[in-house]
Structure 1
């Protein structure tokens, strides 16, 4: 079957012996080498929490444009509202020779982050920008906080699975993510009928890879939905169940494993006249690591042997967003 994507039951993994984990890890490793994606069940995120955040975010996107514009992001790393923006995300390159789309992506997003404070105002500006909560919809903050509390728990469990799969200490990644940078994104994909026309080469979200270590995605099934890519199969639609979370590997994890694992190339198809009233809303949790972490590619045989150069985590992300923060971050 093309594009086979494994499922990892986090609760079963937690209880399993090393012998029982071995075949799961082998299947996971193969998928991450070829594609960079897997699915997780047993994550313990209540469906009511997911539904509440999705419904509340949709109410935000339904606000008048002039209201949402009060919360427009002011920099690539900022929090707040982002109107339909250029293909592939801000500063994210298309991979494997993929031709870049020529028209803006067809979605809006609202971004929140950890909002941590270290006492260094300049560093916090780049690492932990302040969140911007709409006063017109105060319940959005409560819904987002409830959801991201679960995402922080789940991503640590995922990081433990990844470390064990590599044959590393279980806390290899989690010990480097005590003050991690992350972004929670709610992305709304409007319907074909509301847009009126889709330009050639236009997507809801153009082909790209994510910038961090791992991404946790709660998605909705749709005609104009998510597609993943690998060399063997090309573009394909991954399996869907409403109770599953999707895990995408990002650029930082490809670097960390020295190319053993690949950052997932993916896209969201354009809205289709076949389903003219279809709207989708994805909840996307982009996780990185502690901002000052020096990511040193793992040596073979654990690493992939590509000879990639070490890089500081947050600086690498910001540079891909077109930011040069050396004078602020000091790394």
Structure 2
């Protein structure tokens, strides 16, 4: 593998010298131009908070289907439970041309969203959909809210880091993210024994890019695990650190940087016959920005000069899910 996926210590970045920052920024910029991914250390998320959310989410997925179905999502932007559906259900669109596109991605998910309000019920429904917390498991809500509290803090640090790497004022992104839209996803990847078999071309999560500005991922290492893609290496397994988070860029950040940085194309491999009992549970924080932020591609030399269009943040995200927001008068 030729690709270098750098590791950035967020805590050390805050106190680093100018020379050290310049070195880290150059390494990170190169990685985001080629792949769109880096590891994040020094994030300050306690291990017990991560473990608690993962454990409570696993308990939820173990509930009978008829119980989970009470919290099923009803639209592409909803919060709640998403079971396995042909073609990936109402989740992120899959890449065209992939083998066996009608085979379901082999995972279940539970989604939660922020509790901001615009004052308009119609806008809140699509900007900040109401959460569906399982009455049977109040511990899940407590664990998720503890974790997402840290994720919002980490996202602010990542936004400041990315702005600095671009040579922009540190608050360039955070000033546009005071009431951000985001989605916290717990994704359960059942074992091969649990699903009973894998169709040709079937994956735990088909190839895709994320739709927002960036994603913060807490993952578990596995045989049927995460793969990233770039032109140099094709598909490859990114490095893993037990205490590291992964940050990968989404479509909105690629658009904002006018192609200087790329949204990470990634997938999760199918469960493997070499590890038939392996199940994994990922905690995935999809971060966007304030929903009505006008994402105007940055001009060269900061931007990449790809000529991408200007977009309204949440509108652009939902349009890729087939949801059109009518302009407000």
Whether these two folds match at TM > 0.5 is yes
> Equivalent residue for 1:121?
121
Listed one character per residue, the Cα deviations across residues 263-313 of structure 1 (whole Å, up to 9, x for unaligned) are: 000000000110000000000000000000010000011000000110000
Q: How far apart, in 2, do the equivalents of 1:117 and 1:295 lie?
A: 21
Q: How far apart, in 2, do the equivalents of 1:261 and 1:89 lie?
A: 27
Cα contact 1:214–1:288 (8 A) shared by 2: yes
Cα contact 1:105–1:206 (8 A) shared by 2: yes
> Equivalent residue for 1:220?
220
Q: Structure 1-normalised TM-score?
A: 0.96
SS at match of 2:229: strand
Q: How far apart, in 2, do the equivalents of 1:290 and 1:68 lie?
A: 31
Question: 1:324: Cα distance to partner?
Answer: 1.2
Question: 1:118: Cα distance to partner?
Answer: 2.2
Cα contact 1:198–1:270 (8 A) shared by 2: yes
Q: How far apart, in 2, do the equivalents of 1:143 and 1:313 lie?
A: 29
Cα contact 1:109–1:186 (8 A) shared by 2: yes
Q: How does 1:11-50 map to 2 (within 5 A)?
A: 11-50=11-50
Cα contact 2:256–2:297 (8 A) shared by 1: yes
Q: Are residues 245 and 91 of structure 1, via their aligned partners in 2, closer, same or farther at CA, if it must alter by over 3 Å?
A: closer
> Equivalent residue for 1:292?
292
Question: 1:102: Cα distance to partner?
Answer: 3.9
Cα contact 1:222–1:278 (8 A) shared by 2: yes
Cα contact 1:81–1:111 (8 A) shared by 2: yes
> Equivalent residue for 1:195?
195
SS at match of 2:206: strand
Q: How far apart, in 2, do the equivalents of 1:19 and 1:173 lie?
A: 23
Q: How does 1:1-331 map to 2 (within 5 A)?
A: 1-85=1-85, 86-87=87-88, 90-94=91-95, 101-327=101-327, 330=328
Q: How far apart, in 2, do the equivalents of 1:234 and 1:317 lie?
A: 26
- Which runs of 5 or more residues in structure 2 are unaligned? none
SS at match of 1:261: coil
Question: 1:116: Cα distance to partner?
Answer: 1.4
Q: How far apart, in 1, do the equivalents of 2:253 and 2:162 lie?
A: 10
Q: Are residues 5 and 98 of structure 1, via their aligned partners in 2, closer, same or farther at CA, if it must alter by over 3 Å?
A: farther
SS at match of 2:14: helix
Q: How far apart, in 2, do the equivalents of 1:237 and 1:102 lie?
A: 25
Q: Structure 2-normalised TM-score?
A: 0.97
Cα contact 1:213–1:252 (8 A) shared by 2: yes
Cα contact 2:99–2:200 (8 A) shared by 1: no
Q: How far apart, in 2, do the equivalents of 1:3 and 1:100 lie?
A: 29
- Which runs of 5 or more residues in structure 1 are unaligned? none
Question: 1:90: Cα distance to partner?
Answer: 2.7
Cα contact 2:75–2:90 (8 A) shared by 1: no
Name the count of aligned residue pairs. 328
SS at match of 1:194: helix
SS at match of 2:84: coil
SS at match of 1:144: helix
Q: How far apart, in 1, do the equivalents of 2:178 and 2:238 lie?
A: 32
Cα contact 2:76–2:90 (8 A) shared by 1: no
**Which aligned segments of 4 or more residues in structure 1 are displaced greater than 4 angstroms?**
97-100
Question: 1:20: Cα distance to partner?
Answer: 1.4
Cα contact 1:208–1:267 (8 A) shared by 2: yes
Q: How far apart, in 2, do the equivalents of 1:275 and 1:99 lie?
A: 23
Aligned-residue CA RMSD (Å): 1.4
Q: Are residues 162 and 222 of structure 1, via their aligned partners in 2, closer, same or farther at CA, if it must alter by over 3 Å?
A: same
SS at match of 2:33: helix
